[in-house]
Amino acid sequence: MKKQLLIFGAGEIAELAHFYFQSDSAYGVAAFVVDAAYRTSDTLCSLPVITLEEAIARFPPAACDFFVALSYSALNAIRKQKYLDAKAAGYSIASYISSRASLLNEGRVGENCFILEDNTIQPFVRIENNVTLWSGNHIGHHSVIKSHTFIASHVVVSGGVTIGEQCFIGVNATLRDHITIGDRCVIGAGALILSDTEPDGLYVGTATERSKVPSHRLKKI
């Protein structure tokens, strides 16, 4: 018998969390939880959508664990608050770690982490609470990812890097070894970070511009 799980959220990430937990974990999802103002449907994935107050009555903490499936909105502050709300309500907080991820860090992973397929997490890495690692990242040895951070896909974190709380690291970003990313930093897609960053920094690379030559002029494609 699988242990029951409540998922906070009713968007795409919540649907993904349902898929991953149902197909690749010891949990069975019992219901989705939302704030009353954001409940637009009574069901999702053929399961009830309920408020936290309803969840506590129908699925008390003694019988159910909890997972917050939200994105990086407001620099992860919303996901952070809902995680804290669930803990305050007395729930044990689950993490999802894909069976297709390579974890060599002796299980140093906190609560409410969402670690998808094809992540490589090298020895001596520490991942704190409420961290999302989308698919295909490399997290180098002796690195620390602090709480409430979201790392998108195909990010290279070299050895000995510290990433602060509530950061967002975009697709294909590269962080050189032994640097510190300050709290609440946004590192844009494709950015190359070679030195420490101050808290609240925004680091965005230059987007590729359209060529003056139209595509139909290319003869070899």
The reported pLDDT for the residue numbered 216 is 84
Chain mean pLDDT for the chain: 96
Cα 133–Cα 139–Cα 141 angle in degrees, nearest 5: 145
Q: Verify that 101 and 190 share a domain, yes or no.
A: yes
Q: Is residue 151 part of a domain?
A: yes
Q: Which domain holds residue 9?
A: 3-88
| Contact (CB, 8 A) for 65 and 4 | yes
The reported pLDDT for the residue numbered 75 is 96
pLDDT at 220 over 70: no
The reported pLDDT for the residue numbered 206 is 80
Q: Verify that 72 and 9 share a domain, yes or no.
A: yes
Taking the alpha carbons of 29, 103, 77, 186 in that order, is the dihedral positive or negative?
negative
pTM for the model: 0.95
Provide the pLDDT confidence category of residue 221 given band limits of 50, 70 and 90.
low
The pair of three-digit structure tokens given for residue 187, joined into one six-digit string: 């590192």
Rounded to the nearest 5°, which phi and psi values hold at 181? -95, 120
| Contact (CB, 8 A) for 155 and 169 | yes
Q: Looking at the 3D structure of the chain, how many domains does it have?
A: 2
- For the beta sheet containing 132-133, the strands, ordered from the edge strand earlier in sequence to the opposite edge, are 96-97, 114-115, 132-133, 150-151, 168-169, 186-187, 202-203
pLDDT at 26 over 90: yes
Q: How far apart are CA 127 and CA 109, in angstroms?
A: 5
**Neighbour-count burial of 70, counting CB atoms closer than 10 A to its CB (0-12 exposed, 13-18 middle, 19+ buried):** buried
> Which of 88, 113, 135 finishes a domain?
88
The CATH number of residue 62's host domain is 3.40.50.20
> To the nearest whole percent, how much of the chain has pLDDT over 70?
99
pLDDT at 43 over 80: yes
Q: Is residue 206 part of a domain?
A: no
Q: Verify that 65 and 103 share a domain, yes or no.
A: no
Q: Verify that 83 and 100 share a domain, yes or no.
A: no
